[in-house]
Structure 1
Amino acid sequence: MIQPAVLFICTGNICRSPTAHALLLHKARRAGVLVDVDSAAISDEERGNPPDPRSVAEARRRGIEMHAHCARQVRSSDFERFDWIVGMTAQHCAALRRLAPAGTAHKVHLLTEFSEDDEGDVPDPWYGGRQAFVEAFDLIDRGVDGLLSKLQAKTR
């Protein structure tokens, strides 16, 4: 059985996508699902930076440890390596589809597609206070749950 590979994408790769990365790793381990997970950015402005301390604090508050992380920009080779490329906003997904090599745009999905209760974008919490990080985490959590269910169904 081939291990599925998931890449989460946000603007700078310091808030939303590293949170989704940590959540999927945590939940997949608990469910006994093997998955290759990474995260990246559309922009290169945060390249080399660690996760935002507010994201780390919210994850820790919920019992999730953030992995060692260094922000990076999405690469064309990611479209070959990953089966699922999951953007946090419709704008991320549009940019990813423009970057996608021929035959790979079908791998791009919006995170909230996987959530029964949510639709639209996962707002960037960077400009907000603690509550913005709580709300973003909640949306990401529900989307990751739905994605994990899909991954489990495909690996059975």
Structure 2
Amino acid sequence: MKNSTTRAVLFVCMGNICRSPSAEGVFRAHAAAARLDVHVDSAGTHAYHIGEPPDPRSQEFAARRGFDLSRQRARKLSTDDFAKFDLLLAMDKDNLARMKAACPAVHQHKLKLMMDYASQSDSDIVPDPYYGGPDGFDLVLDYLEDASAGLIRAMQQKLSKIPSKT
């Protein structure tokens, strides 16, 4: 990692149309508010929806909270992503296992669960809302806002430990 700080974060779920684009939008807003210079993206472990925008329900519920997902397009996780990103966060254990299976050993330390950064929720995964009702999309956003705030805190703590160059 560059100077022991995270400068590029990739959020990963299965199809890249619900959870990971929502995580990208939520975290991008939190990082901007915290004035953190970080590259943010999302991807899916499966190629079901390549090129498609996020699920309309994800966009609608995110917009209600002030997060714009409209410019995002689904893409599949690539081998290059493991080298390009400093941190790759899976939404659940199945997708984390798929990432671990595809990730070169040298980059395994970059793989974690998104909910590792949550402090207000007991869940260790972000549940997939795709086949459920509207409450699932709100719950996903609750979890992502909690975990994003925790990730911001973790990044700020790392940055505060870097000696200045003056």
TM-score (norm 2): 0.89
Which deviations, in whole Å up to 9, do the C-alpha atoms of 1:109-130 show, x marking residues without a partner?
A: 0011101233321110010111
Match of 2:155 in 1: 151
Aligned counterpart in structure 1 of residue 77 of structure 2, from 74, 77, 86: 74
Whole-angstrom distance in 2 between the partners of 1:100 and 1:154: 24
When residues 67 and 3 of structure 1 are mapped into structure 2, their CA distance, relative to the original with a 3 A threshold, is: farther
Q: Which runs of 5+ in 2 are unaligned?
A: 161-166
Secondary structure, in 3 states, of the residue corresponding to 2:98? helix
Secondary structure, in 3 states, of the residue corresponding to 2:10? strand
Q: Greater Rg, structure 1 or structure 2?
A: 2
Among all aligned residue pairs of Structure 1 and Structure 2, give the percentage whose two residues are the same amino acid: 37
Q: Which runs of 5+ in 1 are unaligned?
A: none
Alignment of 1:39 onto 2:33: no
| Aligned AA (1:21) | E
Asked if the contact 1:3/1:36 (under 8 Å) is kept, the reply is no
Match of 1:64 in 2: 67
Which deviations, in whole Å up to 9, do the C-alpha atoms of 1:51-99 show, x marking residues without a partner?
A: 0111111111011222511100000100001010000001111110111
Q: Note the aligned Cα RMSD (angstroms).
A: 1.3
Match of 2:126 in 1: 122
| Aligned AA (2:126) | V
4+ residue runs over 4 A deviation: none
Secondary structure, in 3 states, of the residue corresponding to 2:78? coil
TM-score (norm 1): 0.95
Alignment of 1:28 onto 2:28: no
Aligned counterpart in structure 1 of residue 51 of structure 2, from 48, 52, 55: 48
Whole-angstrom distance in 2 between the partners of 1:40 and 1:73: 5
1:152 Cα deviation (Å)?
1.4
- The number of equivalent residue pairs is 156
